[in-house]
Structure 1
Amino acid sequence: MRETERAAKTIEPPRPSSCQDHRAAKTIHVPPGREDPALRRFSAEDLRRPEILLVIEVAASSLAYDLGRKARLYARSGIAESWVIAAQERQARVHRGPRGEAGYAEIRDHGPDSVLVPRADLLAGVTVPLADLV
């Protein structure tokens, strides 16, 4: 094994039993000296990338911030869909249809018995039952 391979980190995304389809989960290989993408802070410019299909925020202490300021940032950036999941309550607010400064056209709250399904065709088959979150 080469030195660079030994020093590299591999990050495996969690694969909880709550996900019906794991096709969207990918292994991320981080070369030595590169920032850990799981800990990276994204700029407003990063958020304007067309390949971002869905943003999911899982919140405990940051719920108000995620529902307010961050949701508005995502709408201004044109993120088609964002979910804010209140981890302890197993509830979620789903935002869809960004309208720039006006926020999102559709905002729906989901209780602990709900199953979240993203709208993006590339994520077809992916489901997140809130009751199964650990």
Structure 2
Amino acid sequence: MPAAINSIIDLDFRRASVCIKLSQTMLRDDPELAATWRDLHRDYMTTRFPHREPFLTPLDLVGESVKLLLPHPRYGYVAEWLDEWREVSLAIRDDICRERGITSRELDAVLNAELARRRGVIDDGSGN
């Protein structure tokens, strides 16, 4: 499972980093498109988490925002990569949950613990 956990974390960090850069580029070069992406992301987050205020920075391409950017001549190929990385990450997550008999919430706890370990938040006694 450690290799799968590393793959998920690597894919998710790569995706988030590219989304941030894409958002910055769009804000600079195509502010109207960036605003549309932000609004689509806000709508998605509001629908998914109706009990809290949405986080308005588009750190991920999901749903309608993918449909918005895939046909775009300048950003479409990046949207395609981001969507593929997301799908691969989700598939690995599903495989782990099925193989280990754990819930996605339990997997999230494992991923969060690994991220905390990498940041040095958890002392595992190794001195790292």
Common fold by TM > 0.5: no
TM-score of the superposed pair, with normalisation by structure 2: 0.26
TM-score of the superposed pair, with normalisation by structure 1: 0.25
More helix by share: 2
More strand by share: 1
